[in-house]
Amino acid sequence: MDKPDLVYMIFIETTAERLWALLTSAEESPHWFFGNRIEIGSAPGDAYKVVRVTGETAVDGGVLAIEPPHRLHVRWDMPGDPLGPGRPNEIEYRIEQAAEGVVKLSVSEFHYTPVPEAWQRAGREGWSLILSALKTILETGRPLPPVTPSHPEE
Amino acid sequence: MSEPDFVYIVYIRTTAQAVWDALTDGHTTAAFWYGRTNESSWRVGDTVTFRAPGGAIDFTGEIYEADPPRRLSHGFFHPAPGPMHDEGNSVVTYDIAELEGGVVRLTLTHTGFPEPSVVRPGIGRGWPVILSGLKSLLETGQPLPDRLDIDHVVDCQPA
């Protein structure tokens, strides 16, 4: 596989199974994904969607690889992509045991086209918030209070 | 030429003051920073010294900016002989922002790496572990289990 364009990671005191369940649960996803709901199939070729609270589809993608509880690789197509339609994106989540009782979650982005620095900055903030929110839920049992991520200025 | 800056952002349910205190009170870092303690007056122009559990000085640096509890910037220099020492000084900056709802955004920026750098691969592995541990400590009162072997942590890509 190509080298990812960006990688974010966080270490969480939990099990791979608990993190996987949270990451793939439509019911729980709004607590860590800006209120959005994730709908995901169980096999490669199935749909992968991110649906806003308004019902609008933010991401209309598909499952490329799914290996519970360690790897989820999805196509990430944004119908309203501000950088233009048809831009291929992929996101891969990897969950690895880092130590007894601690897992490492990493998220890799594959873009295949250049992404402006302002969008990289916004992505870094957004993913950081998602990873921080997952960690808070798993370690404290309650979600991180809602935070509005900044938007790119250009 | 220089290697890319390293940036890591973490959101923590806490206060800016609690983040500042954990980074600067001299002993709390031991809980999330592989046992390192620090010593400094945190006044601009003074020095900060990070000590490994055995007492050896791990790294040291000059304080460039100290605006408690919002911003701290200091040098990062390995005093012990070797390639990391020879690479010279880099710069560590913490920006601590209180957001709505009792959440703090901590942005760590580590800059000033030559190309190629022997320091950057290690800090790319280390910062996510350290800052994940800081978040755990401030939100749960307990650090991450002190069993994370840094050599098994994959490097963060340039971001």
The model's pLDDT over A27-74, given as tens digits with 9 standing for 90+, comes to 999 999 999 999 999 999 999 999 999 999 989 999 999 999 999 999
- Give the model's pLDDT for residue A104: 93
Does A36 fall in a domain? no
A chain contacts of residue B101, beta-carbon cutoff 8 Å: 145-147
- Asked if residue B109 has pLDDT above 60, the reply is yes
- How confident is residue A154, by pLDDT bands cut at 50, 70 and 90? very low
- Give the model's pLDDT for residue A133: 97
Q: Which CATH topology does B2-152 take? A: Alpha-D-Glucose-1,6-Bisphosphate; Chain A, domain 4 (3.30.530)
Work out how many domains chain A is built from and give that number.
1
8 Å CB contact of A124 and B145 = no
Q: For chain B, which residues make up each domain, given as ranges? A: 2-152
- Asked if residue A113 has pLDDT above 90, the reply is no
Say whether residue B56 is in contact with chain A using an 8 A CB cutoff: no
What ipTM does this complex have?
Answer: 0.90
Inter-chain Cβ pairs, chain A and chain B, closer than 8 A: 90
Rounded-to-integer distance, Cα B136 and Cα B141, Å: 7
- Asked if residue B158 has pLDDT above 50, the reply is no
Q: Can you tell me the mean pLDDT for A4-25?
A: 93
Which residue of B101, B145, B152 is in closest CB contact with A101?
Answer: B145
Does A53 fall in a domain? no
B chain contacts of residue A12, beta-carbon cutoff 8 Å: 132
pTM across the whole model: 0.92
Q: Can you tell me the mean pLDDT for A102-110?
A: 92
- Give the model's pLDDT for residue B146: 63
User: Omega before B128 cis (within 30°)?
Assistant: no
Amino acid, res. A63: V
Say whether residue B145 is in contact with chain A using an 8 A CB cutoff: yes
- Asked if residue B79 has pLDDT above 80, the reply is yes
Does A150 fall in a domain? no
Q: Are A48 and A41 in contact (CB under 8 A)?
A: yes
**B125/B51: higher pLDDT:** B51
Say which residues have a Cβ less than 8 Å from residue B10's Cβ, sequence separation at least 6. Answer: A10, A128, A132, B105, B106, B108, B131, B132, B134, B135
Say whether residue B149 is in contact with chain A using an 8 A CB cutoff: yes
